[in-house]
Structure 1
Amino acid sequence: MASLRVLVGCKRVIDYAVKIRVKPDKSGVVTEGVKHSMNPFDEIAVEEAIRMKEKKLASEVIAFSCGPTASQETLRTAMAMGADRSIHVEVDANQAEIIQPIHIAKLLSKIAQEEKADIVMVGKQAIDDDCNQTAQMTAALLDWPQATFASKLEPAEGGLKVTREIDGGLETIQVKTPTVISSDLRLNEPRYATLPNIMKAKKKPLAKKKPEDYGVEIKAHQEIKKVEDPPTREAGQKLETVEELVTKLKDGGFI
Structure 2
Amino acid sequence: MIPTTPSDDPLDDESAALLDGLRRALRRAGWTQANLAEEIGVGTATIKRWLHGRGLGFTTLARLTALAGTSLAELAQDGRRNARDRNHLTLAQEEALTQDASLSTIFILIVNGWPPSEAVEAFHIPSDVVENAIIKLERLALIDRLSGGRIRARLDPTYSWQRAPMRQHFERNLKQLFFSLDYGDPDTIFGSEMVKLSPIGIARIRDRIEQLRGELRAISREDQRNAALPGEWFAVLAVARSLKPLI
Please classify the TM superposition score into its range, dividing by the shorter chain length: under 0.3
More helix by percentage: 2
Q: Say which structure, 1 or 2, has more relative contact order (CA 8 Å, 6+ apart).
A: 1
More strand by percentage: 1
Scaled by the length of structure 1, the TM-score of the pair is 0.23
